[in-house]
């Protein structure tokens, strides 16, 4: 139940949000009641020879790459590969998407055997029994079998075809119909020998494993890049290049009906807590907010979201220094006192030098280095502490407090001491763990055809977080997080143009 059955208007709102978002965002949404994500027609399969849709002509030229790191890095690499395929007029061979832990960067040529082992189909039978249950003991490896990193490692990630959860067809569509005209096929494993066989590349001269950083007139049929992650890795100067990049970004948004349904359950409760005409809820970036006419009758935003990256590596080490920046920026948004355009926090993940904290008043300082942290009035904080979700939302509405939704990978956000300044300044802050677990249920029914025994739900949670944030009036992200920069921001840019239509059609 996504909206309360007692309110038909809210129920119609949900229908409009779901249907119109699907239609206008133009993403391939697959109903979550299906047990598996279907394999694409143009997949190079593990156990079968190339299908009739797989190109086998002697003149066909291809381009592919190695995926690594987490989702946003893989997405950025695919974006660059698609641009290269477009400009080099080559068929793009897309590796599977890795959700969860995928191997990080390793200097060449180490990634080739690592990824081949990670995607070896024999691991499915080694690590799962005939009922699809994980084996209780690590299997014994024979001399002719793939080296096992261990079934625990094997279950730390799941492979999904990109076309099952993004709109790759948009890239294949002709340019005059809004696409890029890129021919695309997908591979199910990362074996280089299998790829050569399935593409009919019998001569070693047909394959060029890219090691340098420049492009030339290579005649080999397959150009295999090692790693091409990075927004500025490919510098294009043609007038249409930015349009191409935007179309690829739109096509590569991870979307699925179960994610829309899960996020709607959370949004229903948050928006109910606003107790305000929802036509006032319109997303703005910091520049747009500053450009609003002073005569505008609309006050500060009531629903703000932030992505606080915290759960790993340097993001965790720099969290304590970054949180004050979030507090000051969000406070300026709430009080309509912004002086600079800034929707991303943190210039680096490293800790601030001590000299910055003690610099003179005439020198530029980080927003969180020395200024006192604002706090909500003590009576308000006292009144809201220890309240459950429903009661807290009701009190936030009666006290006219800004609702803040925090998407974060920090463990136990409400009891995390590094995040405490956010909850002190904004007592009406909510995180995903505050909501009943019914939002999680739609995610549990999805399985990937490439990894049929592995549950995907935990890997999809971050996309639910992103979708909730995309409906906020303002969003502040972590500057050095590729997920903030390349996914949250793009998700918002996709949804924002259609919210006016949604609000108009639902009569809110």
pLDDT higher than 60, residue 355:
no
In the chain, the percentage of residues whose pLDDT exceeds 70 is 69
Domain ranges of the chain: 43-251, 262-353+369-500
The string of pLDDT tens digits covering residues 15-30 is 455 444 444 333 333 3
Measured between alpha carbons, how far is 191 from 103 in angstroms, rounded to an integer?
A: 15
The string of pLDDT tens digits covering residues 281-304 is 666 767 777 676 554 545 678 899
Residue 255 corresponds to which tokens in the numbers above? 């979307």
Residues with Cβ within 8 Å of 74's Cβ and at least 6 positions away in sequence, in order, are 67, 68, 97, 98, 102
Read off the DSSP letter of residue 441: G
Measured between alpha carbons, how far is 145 from 150 in angstroms, rounded to an integer?
A: 13
111 φ/ψ angles, rounded to the nearest 5 degrees: -65, -30
CB 106 within 8 A of CB 122: no
pTM: 0.74
308 φ/ψ angles, rounded to the nearest 5 degrees: -105, 95
Residues recorded for the chain: 508
Q: Look at 59-73, 75-89, 263-277, 384-398 and tell me which has the smallest mean pLDDT.
A: 263-277
Using H for helix, E for strand and C for coil, what is the string for 257-283?
Answer: HHHHHHHHHHHHHHHHCCCCCHHHCCC
The string of pLDDT tens digits covering residues 299-350 is 678 899 999 887 665 666 667 788 898 999 999 999 988 877 777 777 544 4
Cα–Cα distances in angstroms (integers) from residue 140 to residues 104, 132, 135, 254, in the given order? 26, 19, 12, 37
- ω into residue 299 within 30 of 0, thus cis? no
Average pLDDT, the chain: 77
What is the torsional sign of CA 383, 388, 391, 395? positive
Read off the DSSP letter of residue 51: P
Q: Report residue 492's pLDDT band, with 50, 70 and 90 as the boundaries.
A: low
Q: Which pLDDT score, from 0 to 100, does residue 139 have?
A: 79
Strand, coil or helix: 31? coil
Least Cα distance to 262 among 19, 502, 2 occurs for 2
């Amino acid at each position: 139940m996504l909206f309360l059955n007692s309110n038909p208007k809210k129920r119609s709102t949900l229908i409009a949000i779901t249907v119109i978002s699907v239609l206008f965002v133009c993403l391939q949404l697959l109903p979550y009641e299906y047990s598996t994500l279907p394999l694409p027609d143009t997949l190079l399969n593990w156990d079968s020879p190339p299908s009739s849709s797989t190109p086998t002509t002697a003149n066909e030229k291809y381009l592919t790459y190695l995926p690594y790191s987490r989702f946003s890095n893989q997405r950025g690499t695919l974006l660059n590969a698609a641009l290269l395929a477009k400009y080099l007029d080559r068929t793009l061979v897309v590796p599977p998407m890795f959700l969860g832990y995928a191997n990080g960067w390793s200097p060449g040529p180490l990634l080739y055997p690592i990824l081949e082992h990670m995607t070896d189909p024999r691991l499915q039978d080694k690590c799962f029994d005939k009922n699809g249950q994980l084996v209780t003991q690590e299997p014994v490896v024979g001399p002719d079998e793939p080296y096992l990193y261990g079934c625990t490692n094997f279950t730390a990630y799941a492979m999904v075809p990109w076309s099952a959860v993004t709109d790759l067809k948009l890239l294949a569509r002709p340019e005059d119909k809004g696409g890029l005209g890129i021919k695309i096929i997908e591979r199910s494993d990362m074996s280089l020998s299998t790829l050569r066989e399935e593409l009919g590349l019998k001569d070693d001269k047909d394959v060029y494993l890219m090691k340098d950083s420049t492009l030339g007139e290579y005649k080999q049929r397959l150009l295999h890049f090692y790693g091409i992650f990075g927004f500025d890795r490919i510098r294009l100067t043609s007038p249409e290049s930015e349009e191409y990049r935007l179309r690829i970004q739109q096509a590569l948004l991870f979307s699925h009906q179960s994610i829309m349904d899960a996020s709607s359950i959370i949004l229903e409760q948050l928006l109910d807590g606003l107790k305000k005409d929802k036509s006032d809820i319109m997303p703005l970036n910091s520049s747009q907010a500053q450009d609003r006419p002073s005569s505008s009758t609309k006050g500060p935003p009531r629903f703000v979201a932030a992505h606080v990256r915290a759960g790993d590596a340097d993001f965790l080490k720099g969290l304590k220094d970054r949180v004050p920046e979030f507090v000051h920026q969000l406070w300026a948004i709430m009080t309509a006192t912004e002086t600079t355009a800034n929707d991303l926090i943190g210039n680096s993940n490293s800790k601030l030098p001590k000299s910055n904290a003690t610099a003179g008043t005439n020198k530029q300082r980080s927003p969180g280095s020395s200024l006192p942290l604002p706090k909500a009035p003590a009576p308000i904080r006292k009144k809201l502490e220890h309240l459950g979700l429903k009661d807290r939302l009701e009190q936030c509405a009666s006290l006219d407090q800004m609702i803040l939704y925090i998407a974060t990978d920090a463990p136990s956000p409400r009891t995390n001491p590094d995040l405490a300044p956010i909850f002190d300044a904004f007592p009406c802050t909510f995180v995903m763990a505050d909501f009943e677990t019914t939002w999680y249920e739609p995610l549990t029914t999805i399985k990937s055809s490439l990894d049929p025994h592995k549950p995907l739900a935990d890997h999809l949670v971050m996309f639910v977080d992103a979708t909730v944030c995309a409906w906020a009036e303002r969003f502040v992200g972590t500057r050095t997080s590729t997920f903030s920069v390349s996914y949250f921001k793009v998700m918002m840019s996709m949804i924002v143009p259609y919210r006016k239509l949604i609000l108009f059609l639902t009569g809110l």
